[in-house]
Copies of this chain bind each other. A is one copy, B any other.
C-alpha cells in the first residue's frame, strides 16, 4: 500500500500517542522528525495574542536546520504567561535530548492546539514525548498516528500527498492538517505540517509555502477568526535522488504547483470536516475596483450567518448574498451587480432572474459549489471558501466546556 502520510517523503519519522492530555483517551502527542535535519519554513497566526508555542517556534524557525516538530492537542498553552513559555521550551529541550546530541533545542519546533488558558499537564506531556520518541517510524501507520494526534474536534484524519518528477527522479510532498473551528483566513489558520524530500533552498521553500497557504488555508473561513495557535510548517529533508532546487526555474514552478494542489486538497478536506459543516462553497468576486475589495466582499458573503444557513438549508436565497455584498463596504454598481450559483444566474445587472429553483437548490446541496458575484465597477477579482452553518456547530461549541 502506498504511503499517503507525512512519512511518505524520504527522511521523515513520525509517531503519535495518547499521553492523557485529552480526557477522551484520544492521541494527543505527535512528533515529526527529520533525523538529518531539514530546511524549513513556517507561517504563523496574525492574532495579536499568540500562544507560547507560537512565540517559541517563531524564534526557532530562524535556525538553519530543523530536526523535529513536537505537537500536543487538547491544550493550547495560550494565555498561560511565563510558565507557558517555560513549558513550551521544555518540550523542545526534551525532544532534542531524546533525539540525540545532533539536535539543539532551538532546532525543534513546538505547536499546541486545544483549550486556551490552562497550563499544560507537563507530567503527561513529558511522558508522552518519551513514549512517542520510542515509537518513531517511517511507516504509513506512524504517519497516520501523528495526524490523529493533532486532531481536536476533527471527525476525520486529513492527509494529502503529491509526487512530481525533477531531473528524472521522483520527489514527494506530503501534508496533514487539523480543523475544525476557529478558522478564519488571515494567516496560516490551524495547524498544518508539510514534508518533502525535495532539496529546496530555504528562501524558495518559504516563498512556496507562503504562496500555497495564501491561496488555500488562508482563504477558508469557518467562523471568521484565526486562533492564537495557528501555524503551518514545511520541512524539506533533501533526501530525494533528484537534483536540488536552488533557482526559481521550471522544476521550482512544478514544485510550487504540486504544493498548491496538495494544500487545496487539504483545505477542502478541512472545510468539509469543519465543525458541524455538511457542505462547502467558494465565493468568487469579480468586477471589483481593487483586489482587496474583492477579497473583502467574498469574505463578507462567506462569513454571513444568513448565507451559511441558507446553504445549509439548500435554499437559493440570493437576496442574502446581495445584502452581504451591499454591507461589505466595497465599491459596487447596483445597476450592474450580478450573481450566479455555479452556472445558474439568479441576479443579473441589478435585477432578479427567472431560474429553476429546484436546479439551483440541487447545486447548493452538492458537497461543493461556487457563488460568483460581479460588482460591476472594475476588473479585479478574489475568492474565499466558506462552509454551511448547522445546529451541530452550535452543539459542538456550546457544549465544549472549559
Contact = CB atoms under 8 A, between A and B. Distances in A.
Given A186-B327, A224-B305, A327-B48, A350 B81 contact: yes
Interface in A379-399: 389-391, 393-399
B394 A319 contact: no
A325 B49 contact: yes
Contacts of A325: 49
A347 B402 CA distance: 14
A88 interface: no
28 contacts: A46-B327, A47-B326, A47-B327, A48-B326, A48-B330, A48-B334, A49-B337, A79-B319, A79-B350, A81-B352, A116-B322, A117-B347, A118-B352, A181-B306, A182-B323, A223-B304, A224-B303, A305-B393, A309-B393, A309-B397, A312-B398, A313-B398, A313-B401, A317-B402, A318-B402, A357-B402, A389-B394, A393-B394
Interface stretch (A211-219, A225-233, A257-265): A225-233
Nearest to A397: B309
Contact of A117 (B49, B116, B318, B398): B318
Contacts of A76: 319
**What are the 4 closest A-B residue pairs judged by CB atoms, nearest first?**
A116-B319, A49-B326, A313-B398, A309-B397
Nearest to A394: B391
Given A46-B327, A322-B79, A326-B48, A394 B309 contact: yes
Chain A interface helix/strand/loop/mixed: loop
A352 B79 contact: yes
B402 A323 contact: no
Contacts of A315: 398, 400-402
Contacts of A351: 79, 81
Copies in the complex: 2
A344 interface: no
A310 interface: yes
A126 interface: no
Interface string A46-87: 111110000000000000000000000000101111000000
A271 interface: no
Most buried by B among A115, A223, A347: A223
